[in-house]
Chains A and B, each alone.
Chain A
């Protein structure tokens, strides 16, 4: 039976540990609380205001408009809704093209670099990964230069007899561009599509300018995802492959029946990481035209920024940010839930999400 003094000592020690715990976690609580939780709460309030950034939004004089800012995005006919719809359409095509392309390319590169007899594997891995760690602003600068009307890309296309478009100045949607080849022209915009955007605009596909952003995203992020695939490939037990080899499978059967199935959880991880990060595209848009040409590179993240900082309509900007946040949290929840179901590794998704995004910067 413990004596009274040891119980007291234990309690004292517990109290002291509790104090140390909060002391150690203190800076984290302070910084994340003040610069992450508080801002979100404040912005939630501001998204219910009509606020131009001048007065104090937390005084009694604030112009409270309820859910007006959200209504203007979804229900009210007008410029705000059109721009929001256009930005959603642009990003939808950006996501639909970037995610599969970067995943397939990353997997392809990983399988190539994983070949055991390959000479210079380390160098190749470095080459493919390097774009991922550079700053998005610096890379965007280089791509602006490469994709000029008379730039390096169009020169190279010229060598093989292709006349390249004027990339960043071309707002034409690729769907109508391709259909135009077959004599189908884009019909004049009519009312009728969702969010006040006509169906012909919804189905226009990404503009030529947006395609350069897609190419850049694929080029910069495939290296990061290649590394994730590579780690998974090296985690496949060698015995599994050897057993298959003893069974007399050929190379293609080995790849399709042993290697690729073993990669399924990682494939899902990469796909969802891609989905989550592509919806957030911002830096590239800022540097490469701020939505131009013809708003075809506008994205919700950039629209939220420009509504606030360019048009002094911070309430509207905050509302767009919360719509985007809702969408991304939905995707994240889906990812965490499915990864938990599959492998019993609940913390994998979020951890690598940040790591991959960080590495992709």
Chain B
């Protein structure tokens, strides 16, 4: 990391501070931009506490009388007199799929990354070229292909069809390979002399040293599978398999219910954003690492 070895005084700007009027102007511009990035979320929050007519009539106002919890009641429990959306089912499905996919990716990506980084075996170069090629294939061209293969395997509209194809991802393998290559070989050699086998070395020596990278991988896998949409769209059909993304997607694009129901939609979108948001605020460093894995030394 660059910041650690900065000499004292490095935080001083090279050319001295901006003159005062410019500084005020700069801060104003920044505040304006910050507001532009925050406002959609603030409006989402405010309007999720309104009634339908109120959200339509006064989208810019704060909720009147402290707001109503109707939308949230309709998401989480029976509300009187109005139809409910199966939000808890969506939430449960998202949690199940995300938990299994994240666990699978952390294990399988690090195993594959270790094999590519450290184990000498025939075909390794070829496999690595394969991973690079896979990373170039965009997800949206796989919609019909994935549907075809799941249908042929009898896995269409099943949990296994939703989960198995996501258990490994090439980008995660790449991150782990990159990390394992930075581990000094001497440590593994020492363990080998002590009589440890390949799996023991991987499991008891290398993995415990990999905590930062494993956290990055966990965080990115969680975010990726929680926000996954297209794969669930083409691998499922019945509403019992809806996740937060496909459920909300069908709901918003007009498959369910009637009227605009924006407060309800906004509340559902808000709740489905929360887990990733919490994760983001706790592990921001790791998200940044994910975004930067190409342009910094990670």
Contacts and interface: CB of A to CB of B under 8 A. Distances in A.
A351 interface: yes
A119 to B, nearest CB: 8
Interface in A85-120: 109, 112, 115-118
Interface string A140-179: 1111111010111001100000000000000000000000
Contact of B111 (A27, A34, A46, A232): A27
B288 A227 contact: yes
Contacts of A124: 30, 34
Contacts of B224: 358, 361
A238 B11 CA distance: 10
A22 interface: yes
B199 A20 contact: yes
B174 A351 contact: yes
Interface stretch (A189-197, A201-209, A301-309): A301-309
A350 B136 CA distance: 7
B114 interface: yes
Contact of B2 (A39, A58, A235, A289): A235
A318 interface: yes
Interface in A314-335: 314, 317-318, 321-322, 324-325, 328-329, 332
Given A116-B11, A354-B174, A27 B167 contact: yes
A28 interface: yes
Interface in B119-155: 119-124, 127, 130-132, 134-149, 152
A32 interface: yes
Interface string B143-171: 11111110010000000000011011011
Interface stretch (A1-9, A75-83, A129-137, A180-188): A129-137
A145 B265 contact: yes
A352 B291 CA distance: 7
B121 A20 contact: yes
Interface residues of B, number: 111
Contacts of A356: 291, 294
Nearest to B293: A355
A348 B142 contact: no
B210 interface: no
Contacts of A142: 40-41, 43-44, 266, 269
B248 A128 contact: no
A294 interface: no
Contact of A266 (B141, B148, B295): B295
Given A21-B115, A276-B138, A126 B291 contact: no
Interface in B23-77: 26, 29-30, 33-34, 36-38, 40-41, 43-44, 47, 55-56, 59-60
B40 to A, nearest CB: 5
Given A32-B134, A145-B266, A349-B294, A238 B10 contact: yes
Given A35-B164, A58-B152, A142-B40, A321 B137 contact: no
B223 interface: yes
Contact of B141 (A21, A27, A328): A328
Contact of B140 (A251, A301, A314, A332): A301
Given A32-B130, A142-B266, A356-B291, A361 B227 contact: yes
Contact of A254 (B14, B249, B296): B14
Contacts of A251: 15, 18
B252 interface: yes
Interface string B98-131: 0000000001110110111001111110010011
Given A22-B121, A351-B293, A280 B30 contact: no
B91 to A, nearest CB: 13
Nearest to A281: B140
A231 interface: yes
Given A24-B119, A135-B276, A116 B13 contact: yes
A137 B229 contact: yes
Contacts of B273: 134-135, 138
Interface in B276-298: 276-277, 280-281, 284, 287-288, 290-296
A66 interface: no
B218 interface: no
B59 A117 contact: no
Given A36-B165, A269-B295, A305-B144, 9 more contacts: A24-B119, A27-B111, A112-B29, A132-B291, A137-B249, A219-B37, A224-B291, A308-B147, A352-B295
